[in-house]
């Protein structure tokens, strides 16, 4: 399998000279299976430059997996050029929203209303298919299997594991390590603590031994106290998670949009310095736009 990053920022695009090295587009990851199948993880603004590389393959079938429907993960979808061209198929996978009681299609269609975009979904020429997923449901794409796990974010968020020919990749989407929402001594503290430990351990077991972990790493440990509960991870938290799970390679992504290239490199190195290399450690890397990695 081959991975290529097309968007590595979180929250809002941050283009400009200060982010040229890392990139300013929001989340979008291309994965090519050994069979040549196209899997796309999230449809942030990075899906637009990805789309421009696909013309030699037309007509094509693309399998898009949406981790969650916060805007930075879907805002590029109306600009996915193959959707405008007859003969193409776009299969969009994701969850039903239990809060708004809307299907994935109903949520995504809002972007195609005339108030927000000049082209309605009904006017697109490609064939669009929507697949509603349940937690831990598996989807076969050629000889690859894509399965999911519910992560911790303020809206329902699936992390996706792609497995093929003994290799595996896991993408967290947006995820914050669970913490106890009660203070010690409050009713519910012990019960929630047990739930928190069980859920964190379930995530560890789901990703155990994966070849590549692509992890939401928006914050430093200095940032985190002011942003606890916002649903995003830290460098130190993801280093701990990767070590516990025996992951081989970790890509930190969903970079804080106000952090320029220089400062991103700095906080990355500071995190590595705080967590000195241990025997059997993964390789830790920063995700960068257009970076390619073969699993």
The full 3-state SS of 167-225, as one line of letters, equals EEEEECCCCCCCCCCCCCCCCCHHHHHHHHHHHHHHHHHHHCCCCEEEEECCECCCCHH
- H or E stretch covering 65: strand 61-65
120 φ, ψ (degrees, to nearest 5): -80, 155
Listed in sequence order, the residues at least 6 apart from 173 whose beta carbon sits closer than 8 Å to its beta carbon are 42, 67, 68, 73, 151, 153, 157, 158, 159, 160, 216
Calculate the CA 98 to chain-centre distance. Answer: 20
Strand pairing of 212-216 and 292-294? unpaired
Residue 122: predicted pLDDT: 92
Omega into 59 within 30° of 0, i.e. cis? yes
Percentage of the chain exceeding pLDDT 90: 97
24: Cα separation from own chain's centroid? 15
- Model confidence at 216: pLDDT above 90: yes
Query: What's the burial of 248, exposed, middle or buried (CB within 10 Å: 0-12/13-18/19+)?
Result: middle
Q: How many CA atoms lie within 13 A of 39 on its CB side?
A: 30
- Which pLDDT value is given to residue 225? 96
Encode 253-286: b = buried (16+ Cβ within 10 Å), e = exposed. Answer: bbbbbebbbeebeebbeebeeeeeeeeebbebeb
Q: Report the pLDDT averaged over residues 264-290.
A: 97
State residue 202's pLDDT score: 97
Q: Span 49-62, mean pLDDT?
A: 97
Q: What is the pLDDT of residues 77-128, one digit of tens each?
A: 999 999 999 999 999 999 998 878 899 999 999 999 999 999 999 999 999 9
> How many CB atoms sit inside 10 A of residue 82's CB?
23
User: How many angstroms separate the CA atoms of 106 and 102, rounded?
Assistant: 6
- Where do the domains of the chain lie? 2-294
pLDDT at 101: 85
From the DSSP assignment, how many helices (H) and strands (E) are in the chain? 5, 14
Residues 172-197: tens digit of each pLDDT = 999 999 999 999 999 999 999 999 99
The encoded tokens of residue 242 equal 């990767």
What pTM was estimated for this model as a whole? Answer: 0.97
**Tokens describing residue 55:** 């013309």
Strand duo 292-294 + 2-7: pairing: antiparallel
CB distance 63 to 93 below 8 Å: yes
pLDDT of 100: 81
How high is the pLDDT of residue 137?
A: 95
Measured distance CA(220)–CA(274) in Å, rounded: 12
Residue 154: pLDDT band with limits 50, 70, 90: very high
Closest CA to 81 of 100, 97, 108, 62: 62
What's the fold here for domain 2-294? Metallo-beta-lactamase; Chain A (3.60.15)
What six digits make up the tokens of 203?
A: 């995530």
286 forms bridges with which residues in the sheet?
Answer: 252
Tell which wins on pLDDT, 200 or 98: 200
* DSSP H or E segment with residue 47: helix 47-51
* Element spanning 90, H or E: strand 89-94
């Amino acid at each position: 399998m081959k991975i290529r990053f097309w968007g590595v920022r979180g929250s809002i695009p941050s283009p400009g000279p200060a982010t040229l090295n890392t990139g300013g587009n929001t989340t979008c990851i291309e994965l090519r299976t050994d069979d040549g199948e196209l899997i796309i993880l999230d449809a942030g603004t990075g899906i637009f430059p990805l789309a421009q590389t696909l013309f030699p393959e037309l007509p094509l079938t693309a399998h898009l997996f949406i981790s969650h429907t916060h805007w930075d993960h879907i805002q590029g979808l109306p600009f996915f050029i193959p959707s405008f061209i007859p003969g193409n198929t776009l299969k969009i996978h994701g969850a039903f929203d239990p809060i708004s009681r809307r299907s994935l299609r109903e949520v995504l269609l809002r972007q195609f209303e005339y108030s927000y975009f000049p082209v309605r979904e009904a006017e697109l020429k490609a064939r669009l298919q929507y697949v509603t997923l349940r937690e831990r449901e598996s989807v076969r794409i050629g000889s690859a299997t894509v399965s999911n796990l519910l992560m911790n974010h303020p809206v329902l968020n699936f992390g996706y594991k792609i497995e093929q020919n003994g290799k595996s990749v896991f993408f967290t989407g947006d995820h914050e390590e669970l913490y106890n929402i009660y203070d010690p001594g409050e009713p519910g503290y012990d019960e929630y603590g047990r739930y928190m430990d069980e859920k964190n351990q379930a995530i560890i077991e789901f990703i155990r031994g994966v070849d590549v972990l692509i992890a939401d790493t928006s914050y430093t440990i200095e940032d985190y106290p002011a942003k606890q509960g916002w649903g995003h991870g830290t460098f130190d938290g993801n280093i701990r998670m990767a070590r516990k799970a025996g992951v081989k390679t970790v890509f930190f992504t969903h970079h804080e949009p106000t952090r320029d290239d220089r400062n991103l490199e700095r906080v990355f190195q500071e995190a590595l310095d705080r967590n000195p290399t241990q025997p059997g450690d993964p390789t830790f890397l920063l995700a960068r736009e257009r970076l390619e990695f073969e699993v």
